[in-house]
Amino acid sequence: MKDIIRAQLRQARRTTMLYIIFFLLAGSCAVGLLNATVDGASASAVTAGDGKLIAAFSLMFLGTAASWICGADLEDKTVNHEMTSGRLRRDVYLGRVIPAMAVAVTGTMVLMFMVFGITTALVGWGHEIPLSNALLRFALMVFPLLRLGAFSSAVTFVTKNRVTGFMVCLYAAMFSLPADTLPFEWLRDLLGNYLLLSPLTFGKLCTFDSWYVYGCADLKMHYIYYPELSGSLIAGIVIVSLIMTAVYLLLGYHFFHTDDLK
Amino acid sequence: MKNLDILAVAAGVGICILLYCIAGRAERIKSTKWKLFWLLPASVLAFAGRFERSLLPLYVGIVILLAGFFREKTVFRRGLSIAGALSMLASVPASLLNPRYRAKDYTGDFQKGYDAMREHYVLTEYKGIDWDALYETYMPMIEEADREQDAVKNYLAWSGFCGTFHDGHVGYYCEKETMEAAARSVLGNDYGLAVMRMTDGRFAAVNTEESLRQYGIANGTIITSWNGQVPDEVSRQSPAWGLMFYYENEETGYETEFGCFPDIDNEIFYSGLLAAGVGGETVSVGILDENGMERTVTLPKIGEYYDRLFGTVEKIDHGVNIGNLEWQRTDQTTVLLRIKGMAYDTQSYMSGDEKSYREMKEKLTEALEEYKADGVKDVIIDLRNNGGGSPIMVKTVVSLFAPEGTYDCSVDGLWDDDRKCWVTDENGDYVPGKAIRCQGENLLDGGRVILLTNQACVSAGDFMVKIMRGLPNVTVMGFTEPNGSCQAVGGVNFRGGKLTFSNCVNLDPAGGILIDSGIDRQSTDDIDVQIPFDLDAIRAIFDEGQDYALASAAAVFSSTAEADVP
């Protein structure tokens, strides 16, 4: 299995598409964040205010990487050749899922860290939210990212199609957005009120409870953020994410295990 | 049971039937794709709404069916379908028998609103708010409403809580139906009349039914007693005393029906009104007959007081019924400008820059120039029932009518971005920050302005009255003073309502709290001329349907020499 993992990582390193997506997303996110700092806002202010949108954008890389690594060899039948040459299905599956999730999660974390890092270097962190809290939230993002990576990988194995895996991941990423940032009212209603999927996901880590006041002379708003995370929320994020990661991987493997070689 | 939950259970059971039917075929025709059907139950979650304990059997049923993904035997899968369907169906009686099925968290909402208000309300010391006492009084009422899932009780508790602040910006808003049910439950019975206190201190019947003529009661009949007591004392015994009736209108935003009087003078003006709902099947009313003789009549209950009370307030307080920022010629030399709210369009409303009101300013200037060319000299600005809005728009409008010169309007509190609070000095007073000033343009060339106001003129409307009253060419008139609430507002949203309150500091140019009333309940936004609410006013309003306040304002211009007007 190790050689398959190594091969997949080498293949990922040479996939130009992943680099293009990564730098396109990094560029557009950085421009978006820096644009938000034009009126003097600090990095912590834009993180608290617009961080959720940047983070949701970054999930596009997660979907791309996970579905690309899992799906490429399914589409060109490399997987079939491996199994007909005596490889265990378990090795073939994990040999793709593990590097896919590793590249997807690491790449997404690096992308976010880079964008927020550049912004901080240019305009300073500021005092809207403590850096330690932002770093804690950043570290906790690994868990929902693993969950989404596993979901995308499993879907790719079921459909044997990279685009489906990516699209489904992208759709799932929308559940991570806080309902009030969604563009259409019907979508806000659907995701905000009628789905069980929102409370313990990525979106919770990107959103800061806030209060604002303003002056009547210029209507300039001043935000107060409440960045603390409760212990139960942290535990919920970690436990539910790990359980669902295992469930998705198990479902994906079970399907792949009994699937025909077509 | 909620429709979406019924739909979720129906969809779940439908999927169970489908899976039962295809289980045999899935075993006969070998294909891994059949497995995907056993993931289908998860889609039921799309209808299932927020987590609900009573629907646990539904969730369990979904998990049961998912087992069919792993084992492909027909008998096993059919067994799962039956077990899943039974489990899902069990959520129906579970929901119907659970008194807290989809229960609204009134206690949680109150806690959230109370916490936010306690932290951010800016007039705590100024109004002498005792937060702990309020919590002890109102939390048990909210808990009772929560236990009984009674929206009306919840509304009444919030209404009482908000009423204790005597601040027009403190309000609980929910859908109109709940407000109406709550108001009907406390306003009492209708006996065919409302009672208003006149300027001379006597009480009179207003908005009366024709049928009361047989008892010698008509609009303007003096009421000496209500059930043997003075009407304003009876008002204080009404369960509606101290409550406020606000609701949220999807089209027009926040609506205020009745009941918040930050300035005690305004409360006194309406102090007889609630009395006319107090009583049983009959009520004994002391009146002065046509000969000035006092006698008592017994009036039967004819319905609920709700419509009569709000109808009375509407007749007294309504402004001229034309669009916002529209003009209406009242006579050869006078024109009226109606300002219902301080908003021109969305873009300017969100902007803190006076330039965003350029279009509005040009339109007002152009219209006024045309009227002036047509002989108009004076202007009445009708601010009655003005719900407020942008202070920048106020500044823009005031500058048009103010004589040339610079006017200090107000000062923001100073915000400390590091400590995240309004800065106070060693005495606990707010420290002034940025000032709002306006530059007079004297568009009227010495013409006079009368500002019509009332108790429902609030917030930025209050602010406009305050600034313009300081101008030498302006007279402020009304039956009552403006509302007396002018700190900027913030709020908390709940699932079933909204709470708003003052959370931004506005100071007067001298550094004191701008306009809002303190412990003494006297706001600093007053009027120059109080229009007497007397028998003439009552008959004009309730018999002839006149806009008596407007007629009084117009009469000032037509009968008074220019020099006599302040």
A214 contact B CB<8A = yes
| B320's tokens | 């001229």
B490 and A211: CB-CB below 8 Å?
Answer: yes
pLDDT score for A202: 75
Whether pLDDT at B508 is above 80: yes
Block residue for tokens 């035997």: B73
The phi, psi pair for B463, rounded to 5°, reads -60, -45
Does the pLDDT of residue B307 top 90, yes or no? yes
**Looking at residue B425, what is its pLDDT?**
94
Which of these ranges, B1-10, B158-167, B206-215, has the smallest mean pLDDT?
B1-10
- Kindly state whether B388 is in contact with chain A, defined as any CB-CB distance less than 8 angstroms: no
The DSSP output letter for B532 is P
Interface check A194 vs B, CB under 8 A: yes
Asked whether B237 and B219 are in contact (CB, 8 A), the reply is: no
CA distances from B335 to B158, B328, B382, B394, B466 (A): 42, 6, 11, 19, 22
User: Taking residues B1-22, what's their average pLDDT?
Assistant: 90
Going along B352-397, which residue ranges are E strands? 378-382
Amino acid letter for position B149? Q
CA distance B375 to B463: 30
Do B50 and A196 lie within an 8 Å CB cutoff?
yes
How large is the average pLDDT for residues B429-444? 94
Residues of A (23-62) whose Cβ lies below 8 Å from B:
none
Torsion angles phi and psi, residue A222, rounded to 5? -120, 125
Across B468-492, average pLDDT? 95
What single-letter amino acid sits at A108?
T
Give me the sign of the Cα torsion angle B226, B227, B228, B234: negative
Q: Which residues of B touch A224 (CB under 8 A)?
A: 420
CB B351 within 8 A of CB B337: no
How many cross-chain Cβ pairs, A to B, lie less than 8 Å apart?
Answer: 81
Q: How far apart are CA B230 and CA B199, in angstroms?
A: 16
End-to-end CA distance of chain B: 65
Q: How many residues does chain B have?
A: 566
Q: What is the mean pLDDT of chain B?
A: 92
A196 at interface of B, judged by CB pairs closer than 8 A: yes
pLDDT at B188 over 60: yes
**Does some domain include residue A159?**
yes
Q: Tens digits of per-residue pLDDT, B246-288?
A: 998 877 777 777 878 999 999 999 999 999 999 999 999 999 9
Contact B554, B330 (CB under 8 A): yes
- In chain B, % of residues over pLDDT 90: 80
Side chain identity at B105, as an amino acid letter? Answer: D
Within a domain: residue A252?
A: yes
**C-alpha dihedral, B329 to B333 to B337 to B338, nearest 10°:** -60
- For the sheet with B506-507, list strands across it: B432-440, B405-413, B506-507
Tokens of A113: 């860290």
Please give the CATH superfamily to which domain B104-317 belongs: PDZ domain (2.30.42.10)
Number of domains into which chain A is organized: 1
- Which band of pLDDT confidence, cut at 50, 70 and 90, is reported for residue B565? very low
Q: Is the dihedral of CA B475, B480, B481, B482 positive or negative?
A: negative
Residue of B31, B32, B47 with shortest CB distance to A194: B47
DSSP per-residue letters across A118-139:
HHHHHH---SSS-HHHHHHHHH
Residue A188's pLDDT is 57
Percent of chain A with pLDDT over 70: 87
- CA separation, residue A113 to residues A46, A116, A133, A138, B404 (Å): 14, 5, 14, 8, 57
Q: pLDDT tens digits for A91-145? A: 889 999 999 999 999 999 999 888 888 889 888 888 889 999 999 999 999 998 8
- What's the complex ipTM? 0.80
pLDDT confidence of residue A262:
59
Buried/exposed code over B246-284 (b: 16+ C-beta within 10 A; e: otherwise): bbbeeeeebbbbbbbbbbbbbbebbbbbbbbbbbeeebe
Interface subset of B 75-114, CB within 8 angstroms of A: none
How far from chain centre, in Å, is Cα B521? 20
pLDDT for residue B136 is more than 80: yes
CA of A26, closest CA in chain B: separation in Å? 31
Q: Which of A191, A212, A216 to mutate to test binding with chain B, by most B CBs within 10 Å of its CB?
A: A216
pLDDT tens per residue across span B28-40: 887 778 888 988 8
Cβ proximity of B483 and B455 under 8 Å? yes
Residue A136 counted as domain residue? yes
pLDDT digits (tens, 9 = 90+) for A217-235: 888 888 899 888 888 888 8
- In three-state secondary structure terms, B304 is strand
- List, in order, residues 6 or more apart from B165 with CB less than 8 Å away: B121, B123, B127, B129, B501
B100: three-class secondary structure by DSSP: coil
Q: Chain B neighbours among A 221-240 (CB < 8 Å)?
A: 222, 224
Instruction: Please list every residue in chain B whose beta carbon sits closer than 8 Å to the beta carbon of residue A254.
Output: 35, 69-70
pLDDT value at residue A198: 43
* CA pair distance B440, B401, nearest whole angstrom: 7
| Centroid of chain to Cα A64 | 10
Phi, psi of B249 (to 5 degrees): -105, 125
Q: Do A218 and B32 touch (CB under 8 A)?
A: no
The average pLDDT across B5-13 equals 90
**Chain A CB contacts of B422 below 8 Å:** 213
What pairs with residue B491 in β-bridges? B500
**In what order do the strands lie in the sheet containing B326-331?**
B326-331, B334-338, B378-382, B449-452, B474-478, B529-530
Tell me, yes or no, if B31 comes closer than 8 A to chain A by beta carbon: yes
Rounded CA separation B181/B161 (Å): 18
- Under CATH, what is the fold of the domain B318-404+441-486+525-564? 2-enoyl-CoA Hydratase; Chain A, domain 1 (3.90.226)
Mean pLDDT of B111-122: 96
Show residues of chain B in contact with A259, CB under 8 Å. Answer: 32
pLDDT tens digits for range B241-257 = 999 999 988 777 777 77
The model's confidence at residue B559, banded by pLDDT at 50, 70 and 90, is confident
CA–centroid distance for A67 within its chain: 13
- In this structure, of A116-125, A202-211, B457-466, the range with the lowest mean pLDDT score is A202-211
**pLDDT (0 to 100) of residue A79:** 82
pLDDT at B129: 97
- Provide mean pLDDT across the span B548-565: 77
pLDDT at residue B312 tops 50: yes
Q: Are B417 and A215 an interchain contact pair (Cβ–Cβ within 8 Å)?
A: no
Instruction: Say if the Cβ atoms of B410 and A222 lie within 8 Å.
Output: no
Nearest CA to B495 out of B121, B149, B185, B169 is that of B149
Q: What is the pLDDT of residue A199?
A: 42
- pLDDT reported for residue B31: 79
Domain range for A73: 2-177+198-258
pLDDT: is A186 or A253 the higher one?
Answer: A253
Gap between the Cα atoms of B555 and B559, Å rounded? 6
- Could you tell me if B398 and B438 are in contact, meaning their C-beta atoms sit under 8 angstroms apart? yes
The structural domains of chain B, with segments of one domain joined by +, span: 3-97, 104-317, 318-404+441-486+525-564
CB of A71 closer than 8 Å to CB of A156:
yes
Task: Identify whether A191 is part of a domain.
Answer: no
What count of residues does chain A have? 262
The answer as to whether A183 is a domain residue is no
